[in-house]
Chain A
Amino acid sequence: AQSVSQHNHHVILSEAASLELGCNYSYGGTVNLFWYVQYPGQHLQLLLKYFSGDPLVKGIKGFEAEFIKSKFSFNLRKPSVQWSDTAEYFCAVNARGSSGDKLTFGTGTRLAVRP
């Protein structure tokens, strides 16, 4: 069974600071990888996804993530955060080629950006 670890539970940054949120997964096979964001009072929205190809994927709002297979990692980055990036960020995986599509989520990282 797959599992996901997000080591940063709560991150506080000032505007214009750079962001990197860690995500590691555990699974013996090939996975699809996702980052979802949940703004206060809103639903989970897909930020970016990796299925195959270039391990550096770009998403919405200037976010990007890099899949490093040897490290089982899919860290989320943004060079310069804004106050509007205040939200909770969830890393998720599903096992490619399996009979099921369930997403396995990490515990989430709550990001607070100070203006």
Chain B
Amino acid sequence: EPEVTQTPSHQVTQMGQEVILRCVPISNHLYFYWYRQILGQKVEFLVSFYNNEISEKSEIFDDQFSVERPDGSNFTLKIRSTKLEDSAMYFCASSRDRGSNQPQHFGDGTRLSIL
């Protein structure tokens, strides 16, 4: 079964540095998502992306964050000037279509540790 793949599995970064988390969604999927899970807390929606633009974002997704689909396969989340509170597990997800019948498929996640 095709999978969503994420790299790296673990990223350690100094506070203030920029970090790019990478995702390869399932190849025939058109909708892409980022979620994060701070240790001990629930999985939270960050952003959804379709047709090369953001379709929805949460209040967490401020100017520090950006997403991009630089080519036909990758979907990236960039965090500029990381803060300690950005430490979390970041999950990428994709779906073939939106809404009603199309569940989102998740990657293994990237554990981001900010020092």
A: which residues have CB within 8 A of B? 32, 34, 36, 42-46, 49, 51, 90, 92, 94, 96-108
B: which residues have CB within 8 A of A? 3-4, 31, 33, 35, 41-45, 48, 55-56, 58, 91, 93, 95, 98-101, 103-109
Q: Are B106 and A43 in contact (CB under 8 A)?
A: yes
Q: A102-B45, A107-B41 given as contacts; is B98 within 8 A of A43 (CB)? A: no
**Interface contacts beyond A92-B43, A100-B56: sample of 13 additional A-B pairs, CB < 8 Å, sorted by A:** A32-B100, A42-B108, A43-B106, A96-B100, A98-B99, A101-B31, A101-B55, A101-B56, A101-B98, A103-B35, A103-B93, A107-B41, A107-B42
Complex CA–CA separation, A50 to B35 (angstroms):
21
- Which residue of the partner chain, among A36, A44, A90, A96, contacts B99 with CB atoms under 8 Å? A96
